[in-house]
């Protein structure tokens, strides 16, 4: 007689998921407790401590990367006049090759109607091939001088997670979360400024969201202006119908600012103060970098060390 054997069904992993989510929340709670302890040690009210900790964290973590990125951009701009000068040279050499191949084909008087690839070079193909070769030489020159474009991703790769982490930390402090609905530090309810005595509540007059929107948009437009001068966008360019990737980033950033303003209208005042402090710091950082480490957008006298490695032979052979 056959007996049916029932296989034990694996227990649901709901408990494991809870453990995982609890671990993630505990990380932010530990960070919130650390911020609360630093606030108690400083003796400052929360309305002054939040901008102070924002400036301290940004100065120690993101400012060195911003300076490193600006030096790389400066070096790239020193090399761009040389890279731009390659394009007409490549076009002339390709055109000369095509013309020489066509003349040799006429002189040979071959009965074979098949043309070589060099003979079939048209004006459009010459432009495409010259552009590809220029991009290839540009990557080579940037690599030889240690200013590759991929290195500039380090700043946003660190700055965005840092912003999210601190935002979540202040959410835990103010109790604006689904997991912890109570205020972690009661002094947040009494150490406000002016009519915003309780920093765990949202701004009833919507002054903080408006200030946040103005500062965030000003900072974004400042960066977009720099991108326009570097010709990374199509704004101000005539007869340009194809937007660049940076144009898409501009539109996405503006929509994100609108969403952030709406979110700030519902968020606790402490969180809005952090967002405003972070945007003001970014704007001041960009202004100071443009003043003390300016980016030049026209050809100028280049220093010997920055243009030492230009792969000189690559300018001759093609």
Q: What pLDDT is attached to residue 18?
A: 40
The pTM score is: 0.78
**Which pLDDT value is given to residue 19?**
39
pLDDT in tens, the chain (318 residues): 445 544 444 444 444 444 334 577 788 888 899 999 999 999 999 999 999 999 999 999 999 999 999 999 899 888 888 888 888 888 888 877 777 766 776 666 655 555 555 656 677 787 888 888 888 999 999 999 999 989 888 998 999 999 999 999 999 999 887 655 677 788 999 999 999 999 999 999 999 999 999 999 999 999 888 777 666 666 655 545 566 777 788 889 889 999 999 999 999 999 999 999 999 999 999 999 999 998 875 544 444 444 445 444 444 444
Residue at token pair 């474009």: 149
Q: Give residue 260's pLDDT.
A: 95
| Whether 168 contacts 28, CB under 8 Å | yes
Answer yes or no: are the C-beta atoms of 318 and 93 closer than 8 Å.
Answer: yes
d(CA 110, CA 105): 7
What are the residues whose beta carbons fall under 8 Å from the beta carbon of 219, sequence distance 6 or more? 279, 282, 283, 286
- Residue 48 has what pLDDT? 96
- Predicted local distance difference test score (pLDDT) of residue 7: 45
Cα separations in angstroms, 116 against 33, 126, 129, 290: 73, 15, 16, 52
pLDDT for 140: 92
């Amino acid at each position: 007689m056959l007996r049916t054997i029932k296989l034990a069904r694996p227990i649901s992993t709901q408990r494991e998921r809870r453990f995982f989510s609890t671990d993630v929340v505990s990380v932010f709670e530990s960070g919130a407790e650390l911020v609360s302890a630093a606030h108690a040690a400083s003796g400052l009210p929360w309305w002054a401590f939040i901008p102070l900790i924002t400036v301290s964290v940004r100065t120690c973590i993101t400012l060195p990367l911003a300076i490193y990125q600006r030096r790389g951009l400066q070096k790239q701009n020193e090399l761009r006049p040389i890279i731009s000068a390659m394009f007409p040279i490549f076009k002339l050499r390709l055109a000369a090759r095509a013309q020489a191949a066509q003349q040799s084909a006429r002189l040979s008087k071959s009965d074979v109607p098949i043309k070589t690839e060099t003979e079939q070079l048209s004006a459009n193909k010459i432009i495409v091939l010259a552009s590809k070769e220029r991009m290839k030489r540009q990557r080579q020159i940037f690599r030889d001088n240690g200013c590759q474009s991929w290195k500039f991703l380090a700043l946003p790769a660190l700055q965005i997670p840092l912003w999210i982490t601190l935002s979540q930390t202040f959410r835990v402090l103010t109790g604006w979360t689904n997991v912890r609905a109570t205020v972690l530090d009661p002094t947040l309810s009494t150490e406000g400024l002016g009519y915003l005595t309780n920093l765990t509540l949202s701004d009833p007059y919507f002054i903080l969201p408006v200030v946040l929107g103005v500062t965030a948009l000003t900072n974004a437009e400042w960066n977009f202006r720099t991108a326009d001068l570097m010709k990374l966008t199509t704004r101000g360019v005539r007869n340009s119908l194809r937007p660049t990737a940076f144009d898409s980033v501009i539109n996405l950033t503006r929509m994100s600012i609108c969403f952030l303003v709406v979110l700030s209208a519902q968020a606790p005042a402490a969180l809005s103060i952090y967002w405003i402090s972070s945007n003001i710091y970014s704007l001041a950082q960009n202004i100071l970098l443009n003043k003390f480490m300016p980016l030049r957008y026209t050809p100028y006298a280049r220093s010997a060390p920055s243009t030492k490695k230009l792969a000189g032979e690559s300018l001759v052979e093609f």
